[in-house]
Amino acid sequence: MAGFWTEHASDGTLLTDKGPGETSHGVVKKVKALFRGGAPVKVGHAGTLDPFATGLLIILLGQGTKLSQFIMSGEKVYVATVELGVETDTLDPTGNVLRTSHVPDMSSEFIQERVERFVGKIRQVPPAYSAIRYKGTRAYKLARSGQDVDLKAREVVVYSLHILAVDLPQITMRIRCSSGTYIRSLAADFGRDLGPGGHLRSLRRIKSGPFDVRDALPSSEITDKAREGFLSKKVLTNRDALPDMGEIIITAALAEKVRHGYQPIWEELIVGPKQQTGIQPDQYNKWIKLISDNKLVAIVKLNLENEISRIKAKLERVFSA
């Protein structure tokens, strides 16, 4: 299958639309299988989706795996359905039912009013059935073995939360939130706030950072599209995978030095060819792309060395030519 890929297609980002029942790792394995017979290619993803969930799963190829932390840091948008009156141990439809309750009539206005309590900075306890490490072990492994998992609450941000449909006992909503927000926990907390409790019935990720699921390839079509020679056209370059990150064009000579670990100072960065960065030297601690020959050379942060008042670019990630 490797012959169906262009050389650049083994290095970048592929937007996929994960189907229900499929694991995120399963999609990664499906993509990795396309390279059998050729040079080994590292494949990963930027943000797990639970098997019951669907939607945008960003696959990282080759050096694209170095982009994970930058892509995952972006805000997310989900469409979620909460089912009231049924609480499960996993907070989703795959778990064991813990409690059932009567669901009284509620108006859409009442529900929207209550949901506003969950907008802004909130503290939530991650699900026990999650990949967070607890005492050195993945929490879900301990939970599955019947051990108690006492995860600490953490702060997340819900930027907006809109009710899309009310068909009790189910409520469907659109959520825009920060990275690290657990929609399962949000659904369970919302259900308890309304009274009868509840769990996350369905979940679809529709946006992650600048990327939209409408631009993604259904995961079920990955193999067929590779055979048709179409898949390589869907792979974003490492430069294009970070469209919202500022960038600076640098010379080929400086790019060579950076690729060998050199950390340039500000004066070296602003003399590149056709320099139109729009970046000011006061943008400390902001990630910035260094570009040469239309390729991503490195991602840096500008740091001020106070003792000599010099701005230096700290290397965060470096990419080979």
Element (H, E) at 291: strand 287-292
Out of 3.40.50.620, 2.130.10.10, 3.10.20.600, 2.30.130.10, the CATH code matching 246-318 is 2.30.130.10
CA pair distance 32, 16, nearest whole angstrom: 14
Predicted confidence at residue 308, as pLDDT, reads: 45
Read off the pTM: 0.89
* Topology agreement, domain 2-73+211-234 and domain 76-208: yes
What architecture is domain 76-208? 2-Layer Sandwich (3.30)
Beta bridge partners of 242: none
Q: Which fold has domain 2-73+211-234?
A: Pseudouridine synthase (3.30.2350)
Between the CA of residue 188 and those of 21, 87, 121, 143, what are the distances in Å?
21, 8, 17, 17
| Burial annotation 293-307 (CB, 10 A radius, 16+ → b, else e) | eebbbbbbebeeeee
List active site positions.
50
Which pLDDT tens digits describe the chain residue by residue (321 residues)?
444 454 446 789 999 999 999 999 999 999 988 876 666 789 999 999 999 999 999 999 999 999 999 999 999 999 999 999 999 999 999 999 999 999 999 998 999 999 999 999 999 999 988 888 888 888 888 888 888 888 899 999 999 999 999 999 999 999 999 999 999 999 999 999 999 999 999 999 999 999 999 999 999 999 888 877 777 788 999 999 999 898 889 999 999 999 999 999 877 887 655 454 555 555 556 789 999 999 999 999 887 665 445 677 889 999 998
